Amino acid sequence: MKDLLPNITAQLNDILQSLHLFVPELYLTALFIIVLVTDLLFGRRSVKMCRLVATGGMLLVIVQVINQQVTLAAGNAVTVFGGMLVLHHTAISFKLITDVLALILLMYFAWDDQLRRHPKGLSDLYTIVIGSVLGLHMMAMAINLLAVYLGVEMVSIASYLLAAYRTGNARSSEAGLKYVLFGAAASAVMLYGISLLYAFSGTLDLFSPQMAAALLHINPLSITFALALLMLGIAFKISAVPAHFYVPDVYEGAATPVTAYLSTLPKIAGFALLINVITPVIVSGQNFVNWSGVDLRIVLSVLGIITMIAGNFAALWQSNVKRMLAYSGIGHTGFALMAVATFSATGLSALTYYLFVYGLANIAALMLANYFENTENITNINDYKGLGFKYPLVSVAFVVVMISLTGIPVSAGFTGKVLVFSAVYDVYQQTHSAWLMALMATGAVTTVVGLFYYIKIPLNLFLKRVEFIPDESSKSTNLVVFSTVIALLLIIFGVLPNLLTKVL
């Protein structure tokens, strides 16, 4: 016992010293409790109050994250809580992206007619989302395998609850069930990989010299198998092939604002986690597996190529808006993997910009789809015929968002793709890797393919007329205003990307 006392004292001191670097997460914890208690105290009358508290508290969290971005010098990395988490520029940028998008979603939830009319109300939903954001922060900072698993599970449990939130709705229940089954399998696979790495090395710290030294003496095939299981769990969060099968059904069955959540926040945090997992390999300049047959850059390149092809070509055949956006989201995951495969600071910078503008555009696209669902009760692209003349402002905003998602010039999506291509080409000039060239070629081809399914919406809105167009409805004004603002931002960030890159 006496031998343990100095260690306990040192650990307590480390915890106390780490708290000032954990302020946004402490705010999120307090906010989660406050929203939960507000719901319990006021019951059905608490919806507006919970929404106000959640959005106001999220603003405070964003301020704290920006403060961390300002105070922590660029290039510096600080570990907290005994090496469980790391705080550096990239992690803070990912936290800021998820927090801004979470704030938008917290405002958006109440604008969906089906969610608003649900007997349960929205109070529980705000509580779940705030709790999930804490998990997203954990994923962005985790460098210990235990912290990795805890962060992933916090987000996963929240996602399951959100997907099945509309109890009584058959599609929502089916979406929740499928998500739970696939999620449980992915979680078990990832945990098995973590347990193998721990058994091989005797440590959970990815950056520990002990882990790298121990793994060099283990059978290479065993290490490869363990890392593959770990990566498969992360692939589930970012909806990359082969862990993408659940995406279209879950996204279609969930409420549209929940689809906006599932298609952006867990994916962005998943990329932050992927970076944390592969960083030890980049820093050490060698793979964990001391075997020339395994090259992490080749693995990520192949994964990116297959994911781009699978997502974009499957989206071509979709007529449901949410399913089309689900498959296109898989394609965007593959494109984002291009930036990760560079293993460079330029690639990371391009990745943060790309994911943020993708998140904005995807949420705006689902908001606009939600508008037509509210006003016309339609979810099929073919039913949009002639509605561009009935709802001109909404339709023009929809076209701008589609332009950004496609990557056509002047939009932020185009700038994001240019930054990713530039980062990959810079590394290609140094390494002359055939896989990087294959990535760029696939990215260019699938971008053209994306134009063919994204253009279906503008085509139906403006170029296919109907005989009779009834008077315009005045519903969902908030969706019109907010989606139009996002569409304008996508143009502004496309023309003036420095406004965004300086912050991220």
Which residue has better confidence, 163 or 58?
Answer: 58
DSSP 8-state class, residue 318: -
Q: How many residues does the chain have?
A: 504
Local confidence band at 83 (pLDDT 50, 70, 90 cut-offs) = confident
Q: What is the mean pLDDT of residues 100-107?
A: 93
Q: For residues 23 and 295, give the distance between their C-alpha atoms in angstroms, rounded to a whole number.
A: 38
Strand partners, 380: 320
Q: What is the mean pLDDT of residues 237-241?
A: 89
- Asked if residues 190 and 143 have their Cβ atoms less than 8 Å apart, the reply is no
Alpha helices in 109-169 (DSSP H): 113-116, 123-141, 145-163
Q: Tens digits of per-residue pLDDT, 387-397? A: 888 888 898 99
Residue type, position 240, single letter: A
pLDDT of residue 208: 80
pLDDT of residue 432: 83
Q: Is 41 exposed, middle or buried (0-12, 13-18, 19+ CB in 10 A)?
A: exposed
Q: Residue 84 pLDDT more than 90?
A: no
> What is the pTM assigned to this prediction?
0.92
pLDDT of residue 368: 92
- Among 123-137, 139-153, 189-203, 275-289, name the one with the lowest average pLDDT: 275-289
- Asked if residues 236 and 146 have their Cβ atoms less than 8 Å apart, the reply is no
- Among 114-128, 134-148, 239-253, 299-313, name the one with the lowest average pLDDT: 114-128
Q: Tens digits of per-residue pLDDT, 185-226? A: 888 999 999 999 888 888 888 888 787 777 777 777 888 888
